[in-house]
Amino acid sequence: MHILQNELLSNHTTLRVGGVAETFVVVETQAELLDVLTTYKDTEILILGSGSNLVIADTNFHGVVIQIQTQGIDVETDACSGAMVRVQAGVNWDEFVSHAISNEWSGVEALSFIPGRVGATPIQNVGAYGQDVSQSIARVKTFDRVEEKVKTFSVSECDFGYRTSIFKQTPHRYVILE
Q: What is the mean pLDDT of each run of 10 residues along the chain (178 residues)?
A: 96 94 98 97 94 90 97 89 92 97 92 95 95 96 97 98 97 96
Alpha carbon 54 to its chain's center: 13
Q: What is the reported pLDDT for 18? A: 94
Q: What is the reported pLDDT for 78? A: 82
Least Cα distance to 145 among 167, 118, 121 occurs for: 167
Residue 86 burial by CB count (10 A; 0-12/13-18/19+): exposed, middle or buried?
middle
Q: What is the reported pLDDT for 162? A: 95
Q: What is the reported pLDDT for 77? A: 84
Contact present, 127 and 155 (Cβ < 8 Å): no
Residue 135 burial by CB count (10 A; 0-12/13-18/19+): exposed, middle or buried?
middle
Q: What is the reported pLDDT for 149? A: 97
Q: What is the pLDDT of residues 131-166, one digit of tens each?
A: 999 999 999 999 999 999 999 999 999 999 999 999
Q: What is the reported pLDDT for 53? A: 81
Tell me, what amino acid is at 24?
F
Kindly list the distances between the CA atom of residue 36 and the CA atoms of 5, 145, 170, in Å, as whole numbers in the listed order.
15, 11, 20
